[in-house]
Structure 1
Amino acid sequence: MGMKYSDGFSKQLPTLATVGAALVSLYLMSQAMKSIPVGTAYSIWTGIGALGVATLGIFLFGDRASAPRLACIGLIVAGVIGL
């Protein structure tokens, strides 16, 4: 989401926020991998990211909230819970 607001990394504050968030996210994932398998950690990290971006895209950018899209978001949630 930060990359959208950084306008191709041309705006300084959104760019710094994006890089900072990415670093924090990677750090937290590395901490999680101390106690869970790498495949599980990465899959959950990716699923949460996809879920967050899809949901925020609907609310912040007016992306369509069609039934198939919402069903797929539900499948992502089910997959993350399953892992």
Structure 2
Amino acid sequence: MLNICLQALHGARPYGVVENIIVHQDHRNRRIGQKLLQHVEAYCRSIDCHRIMLLSQAQRLDAHRFFEREGYSGSVSRGFKKYL
């Protein structure tokens, strides 16, 4: 899921927030997740987004390695959630 958010900073350029990049375990390691992220990135570039953010559960180390291979840094920001 990709959400496009409006931004008051950065020249009012939007940014993307990605959640739920899910590939069934029977279909992993076929570059499906990579293709999904490439599509997200191409779309975000086409509407002049200045960044893409995503969250991943802290214990999903395989997912973290995947995101890092795709150029995302887990050390830039810290995410917080409050469930209601």
Shorter-chain TM band: 0.3 to 0.5
TM-score relative to the length of structure 1: 0.35
TM-score relative to the length of structure 2: 0.34
Tell me which of the two structures has the higher relative contact order, counting C-alpha pairs closer than 8 angstroms and 6 or more residues apart.
Answer: 2
Larger proportion of strand: 2
